[in-house]
Structure 1
Amino acid sequence: IYDHKYLFEAAGRYDGHYYFAPGKRWGYFPAFSAGWVISEENFIADHATPLEYLKLRASWGKSGNLAGAAFQYLNGYNLYGNAYAYGNGSMVQGSNITREANPNITWEISTKTDIGVDATLWKGLLTLEVDYFHERRTGMLLPPAVTVPVEYGLSLSDENQGIMENHGIDISAGTTHRFSNGLQLNLNGNFSYAKNKMIQVFETAATHDNPNRSRTGRPLGTQFGYHALGLFSQADDKNSDGIINSEDGYNVTQFGVLHPGDIRYADIGGPDGKPDGKIDSYDETVIGNPVYPFITYGFTPSASWKGFDVSLFFQGAALASLNFRGFQTVPFNNNNSNSSYEYYNNHWTPNTPDAKYPRANQSPYANNTQNSDFWMMKTGYLRLKTAVLGYTLPARISKAMKMQSVRCYVSGQNLLTFSKMKFMDPEVGYTDLETAYPNQKVFVFGLNVNF
């Protein structure tokens, strides 16, 4: 720090980890940062302005990230029983190598750049932090998109070949004001937008050369599938035999025998990019954003007046998608005899042709369980995560009771959620759709006493 205005810092880490083979375990990761407190300069400090504090800062650095499982540089052996018969015919264990070892596996390296501004205006009435960040991650550990013959006997090892870029902004702001009657209001909020792009990723020519299917240039975790055109209706069954085929004028081959109430898919194109009369992998396209959101945000309003205090915490997310095809929306999914009322109250029948879900079957039907945008839903939400209402007794009353302070309060969690997804928690996609336990509303009544 020089003259309370200029700041510089340098650091370096030399890290090693047992995940990697000798010779690949160690990496050096430097970092630098600099700052300039502009508000200390005479051209601002000597003039009356709303600007109380202004700082410009920047940083650059590298970090090493662990990925995959440990000891992938070694051959791992799997034991299994009743492999060989020796002597009197007794069976003994056998072993086999399941995956090819890769002695060259090493750190994923993340190179990060950040440029930020910190400001305080109007004597603290407004505080603001704004950051722009860029990250380039190299050496991402990915499985090769190569099919080897069964005679090879091993699955291929992961390789440090992925490259991903990520960029975005972070904004934090806050304000507080106290009125002459003692009422104090506070509001703090944050907003983050981050979007990545795969620069280099293993994929076959069939996907890379198809603009609808290419993984390169798209965010990690982008979801692919078929484009659904809705459900077949009874009007599509022109000869009224319960089956939809070429005799009804529908000449696209899908998955099995088609009936009214089944999902209809778009014939986007074949190997030459033109519709070919059948639904297969060439008809795949982007059907949704990744499960994790590109946007996250939150804000916390609070107030206090004459011993009363209230604070609210809202959190939200946007630009994320979830494939909600599961036990709540597909009957007998994974041989489960239980399904949600979400499906049974909303599935197609001749009497409910405008229903949300396909017709019922005694077991999941291949045509209706394909990955498609029929099963995708935007999971953006705004949630009142926490609310607290409290009251602190006046000091004179507390002292009369031989106490330093007394505060009673009531708090609640997960009180309100605003989302298009009504039948399950919109955050469930971050865990496991089949087993995730839904969020519960929790109410707490409490008393804080200090002696």
Structure 2
Amino acid sequence: MIDGGGSTDWQEELTRAAITQNYNLVLSGGTEKLNYYASLGLQDQEGIVYNSDLKRTSARINVTQKLLEDRLRIDYNLNTTITEQSRNNNLGYTTNPTFDAYTPDGEINNPLNWNNPLLSNKYNGDFSESRRILFNVSPSFEILDGLVYKLNFGYENNSSDSDQQTIANTERNDLGSLSQGFGKYRNTLIENYLTYTFDVGEHNLSILGGHSYQKTFSRSSNWSIDEFPADTDIEPRNNPGLGGDLNLTDNRPTGSTWENELQSFFGRANWSFKDRYLFTATVRADGSSKFGENNKYGVFSSFAGSWRIIEEDFMDGSIFSDLKLRAGWGQTGNQEIPNKITKESFSVSNSSSVSYPIDQNGAYPVGSEYTRFANPDIQWEVSTQSNVGLDFGLFDGSLTGTVDYFNKVSDNILLEVVPVDPIVPAPTYWTNVPDMTITNKGFEIALDYAKRNYEGFSYAIGGNATFIDNVVEDSPFTIVTTGSASGQGLTDATINGFVSGEPIGSFYMQTFTGINSDGRSQFVDSDGDGDITENDRTVVGSALPDMTYSFYTNFSYKRLDLNINFNGVSGNEIYDHTAMGSFYKTLLSKSNNTTAIAIQYPEESIINSAAVSTRYLKDGSYLRLSNLTLGYSFDTKAMAWASNWLQELRLSFTGQNLFVITDYDGYDPEVNQDSSTNGIQSFGIDKFAYPKAKTFVFGVNVSF
């Protein structure tokens, strides 16, 4: 390892105390027949990593108008947002800390062309701008007393462009490059409702019938060009024509377009008696263009009822201020699969591996080949859930709470799997897996206690907790990968997935036991065959917590208030992909930075490879102080100079993510990266996370 003689904290060099500014202006008013609300928002947010920023401008206007003796009501909503963003995720994880960041004369230090990350930040850029317009109009007309027709029309239009560039330079010998992307997205929604509400004695009935149609469209394109001149101040994104290398091998344009339609017919009936017994029944038929011709539609129903026990005569004089029993059963459909995967797909190729020559001595012709067969039988994944709950209140409402039990079973599971037949045009395909189920069941508990006295002091304390038991059953596969590794020698190695008899997101890998006499990693021989192979992988933990919880406490005295919120999880593990890919002993020989995990075993060989194993599996439990707000609301009526025009004046200070208690030694135990495989959601993999910021917010709220 090269020792540069310095001592640099690269995290300190590459990050900063970032400032975020938020400004909001709101105007509202109206008459009995016409009301309006308008707002303008400006946000300027620095990222905690240098050269990462976000600027957002947003505007909104809502108008409500009543006509025809209030039988006709029209709601208009218009929202628009423009977001400009620059990104930089280079945090210098592996940068040699013995090199100084700068030379004595203040220039960026780059001895031996060792790739100072400050140079990467200087010459690499990732920029994007997105524009979003959302319009909604919703008229409703009371045809007869109790009979109301409502139309809801919504339209969303998004467009975006992005630039990823490297400015040509001699310090890193970069030739310069530019990659540009453009995207469009449209979403159109039309809904029609007809509702009839009427009373029969002490019975109240409401019947709804409706239709919904949604169409979404997306188009994107990308292209690139290389070799820009280094003797100009013009950035590549400002003049792509300065690029000197453009060819179909390295710079072939790419793009994609998809269009989806979702149609639903639905009905609902609500019945109540004396506001004591309540019952709801719904049925809907949903059709999606994502599915095959044979199974576009699915029919789903639900039932729910509740009994307000507190309204019964026998509850008079009881200790309860509220008591309600609830129960429900229902089905929902899942259509979250990639676009167009039920349709056949082709590609054009002149590769000898997929085409046949016209003669044995000639060139291979360009031809079309199947990359996916049509699958007209794929259909909705169905989730069936039942639940029972109890709401209660005690001590004149000071103590309130809920207890819920739920059981949700999903079947007809949609997954991308490997075909049994080896002679197929694609290595995987999407299908409904027969007999396989995923079950979520557990309890949710919430308690709140609030008290106020006559001296102006009040307080509240409360919390909730969810206990979940998740299991995959009757899966025909050893594992369906949901999270995999990436990096040299690691790409596509399974980290976690669906394993029959285990929770989703189960970590499936070899169990690390230490370093052997040869300086190499050794693992448990799980199958007892005397050899260490992939067959020795077992389930060693789950990314899903056994319990998620939060609690709060609020205090107020006259016009001063304090609110504190905590949240946490327990019973889950996190796979530290960052440590596996960046902090192993071999990197020491390359003069890269590592952490203590790389030298945990002095006997470990410098050529020992980092492999997916329990060596990098860590406890993911944590408790976080997520939010603390201290505020003071002024008595504007007592301000003689402002009482006629100032309605509200409030000052506040908020701290977010103030501390976290955890044994996890990565950046943050709330893993936020998407490490999904083939569109299947991943869980619990920490792969080069962006740091979670500790934020302090000073606020002023003024109303006139």
TM-score, length basis structure 2: 0.52
Q: How does 1:213-232 map to 2 (within 5 A)?
A: 215-232=499-516
SS of alignment partner, residue 281 of structure 2: strand
SS of alignment partner, residue 428 of structure 1: coil
Q: Does 1:407 align with 2:639?
A: no
Structure 2 CA distance for partners of 1:80 and 1:314, relative to 1, 3 Å:
farther
Q: Is the 8 A contact 1:288 1:373 kept in 2?
A: no
Q: Is the 8 A contact 1:143 1:202 kept in 2?
A: no
Higher relative CO (CA 8 A, sep ≥ 6), structure 1 or 2? Answer: 1
Q: Is the 8 A contact 1:73 1:105 kept in 2?
A: yes
CA distance in structure 2 between the partners assigned to 1:422 and 1:287 by the alignment: 19
Q: 1:427 aligns with which of 670, 677, 685?
A: 670
Q: 2:568 aligns with which of 284, 303, 316?
A: 316
CA distance in structure 2 between the partners assigned to 1:148 and 1:19 by the alignment: 25
Q: Does 1:49 align with 2:301?
A: no
CA distance in structure 2 between the partners assigned to 1:406 and 1:359 by the alignment: 66
Deviates more, 1:72-81 or 1:57-66: 72-81
User: Which structure 2 segments of 5+ residues have no match?
Assistant: 1-271, 480-496, 676-685
CA distance in structure 2 between the partners assigned to 1:26 and 1:418 by the alignment: 48
Structure 2 CA distance for partners of 1:347 and 1:417, relative to 1, 3 Å:
same
Amino acid at match of 1:111: T
Deviation, 1:340, is: 4.5
Deviation, 1:184, is: 0.8
Amino acid at match of 2:624: R
SS of alignment partner, residue 282 of structure 1: helix
Structure 2 CA distance for partners of 1:80 and 1:415, relative to 1, 3 Å:
farther
Deviation, 1:313, is: 1.6
Paired position in structure 2 for 1:194: 468
Deviation, 1:104, is: 0.8
CA distance in structure 2 between the partners assigned to 1:229 and 1:434 by the alignment: 23
Deviation, 1:406, is: 1.8
Q: Is the 8 A contact 1:145 1:204 kept in 2?
A: no
Amino acid at match of 2:377: N
Percent identity among equivalent residues? 29
Paired position in structure 1 for 2:306: 35
Q: Is the 8 A contact 1:143 1:159 kept in 2?
A: yes
Paired position in structure 2 for 1:133: 406
Q: How does 1:177-192 map to 2 (within 5 A)?
A: 177-192=451-466
Paired position in structure 2 for 1:14: 285
Q: Is the 8 A contact 1:193 1:295 kept in 2?
A: yes
Cα RMSD of the aligned pairs, angstroms, is 2.9
Structure 2 CA distance for partners of 1:410 and 1:382, relative to 1, 3 Å:
same
Deviation, 1:219, is: 1.2
Paired position in structure 1 for 2:47: none
Structure 2 CA distance for partners of 1:398 and 1:15, relative to 1, 3 Å:
farther
Paired position in structure 1 for 2:432: 160
Q: 2:611 aligns with which of 351, 357, 370?
A: 370
Structure 2 CA distance for partners of 1:394 and 1:143, relative to 1, 3 Å:
closer
Paired position in structure 2 for 1:240: none
Deviation, 1:389, is: 0.9
Paired position in structure 2 for 1:348: 601
Paired position in structure 1 for 2:375: 102
**More strand as a share of residues:** 2
Q: 1:58 aligns with which of 327, 348, 351?
A: 327
SS of alignment partner, residue 158 of structure 1: strand
CA distance in structure 1 between the partners assigned to 2:594 and 2:672 by the alignment: 18
Amino acid at match of 2:451: H
CA distance in structure 1 between the partners assigned to 2:296 and 2:364 by the alignment: 41
Deviation, 1:216, is: 1.8
Paired position in structure 1 for 2:622: 381
CA distance in structure 2 between the partners assigned to 1:60 and 1:179 by the alignment: 43
Q: How big is each residue's C-alpha offset from its partner over 1:78-135, in whole Å with a ceiling of 9 and x where there is no partner?
A: 3346677999x89875432223432210000111101111111111111111110011
Q: 1:67 aligns with which of 309, 333, 336?
A: 336
CA distance in structure 2 between the partners assigned to 1:322 and 1:295 by the alignment: 15
Structure 2 CA distance for partners of 1:436 and 1:447, relative to 1, 3 Å:
same
Q: Is the 8 A contact 1:60 1:113 kept in 2?
A: yes
Q: 2:386 aligns with which of 97, 113, 121?
A: 113
Paired position in structure 2 for 1:305: 557
Paired position in structure 2 for 1:391: 632
Structure 2 CA distance for partners of 1:105 and 1:339, relative to 1, 3 Å:
farther
- Give the total of aligned pairs: 394
Structure 2 CA distance for partners of 1:343 and 1:229, relative to 1, 3 Å:
closer
User: Which structure 1 segments of 5+ residues have no match?
Assistant: 206-212, 233-243, 245-257, 270-274, 351-357
Q: How big is each residue's C-alpha offset from its partner over 1:341-365, in whole Å with a ceiling of 9 and x where there is no partner?
A: 4545x54336xxxxxxx5544xxx4
Paired position in structure 2 for 1:172: 446
Q: Does 1:448 align with 2:701?
A: yes
CA distance in structure 2 between the partners assigned to 1:349 and 1:308 by the alignment: 57
Structure 2 CA distance for partners of 1:440 and 1:214, relative to 1, 3 Å:
closer
Amino acid at match of 1:53: D
SS of alignment partner, residue 130 of structure 1: strand
CA distance in structure 2 between the partners assigned to 1:342 and 1:424 by the alignment: 15
Deviation, 1:376, is: 0.7
Deviation, 1:337, is: 7.8
Q: How big is each residue's C-alpha offset from its partner over 1:189-239, in whole Å with a ceiling of 9 and x where there is no partner?
A: 12112222112212259xxxxxxx99322112211112222334xxxxxxx
Structure 2 CA distance for partners of 1:418 and 1:155, relative to 1, 3 Å:
same
Q: 1:277 aligns with which of 527, 530, 542?
A: 530
Structure 2 CA distance for partners of 1:156 and 1:100, relative to 1, 3 Å:
farther
Structure 2 CA distance for partners of 1:145 and 1:78, relative to 1, 3 Å:
closer
Q: How does 1:235-314 map to 2 (within 5 A)?
A: 244=517, 258-259=518-519, 262-269=520-527, 275-289=528-542, 291-314=543-566
CA distance in structure 2 between the partners assigned to 1:294 and 1:94 by the alignment: 53
Q: How big is each residue's C-alpha offset from its partner over 1:32-72, in whole Å with a ceiling of 9 and x where there is no partner?
A: 11111111111112xx2220110001010111111321332
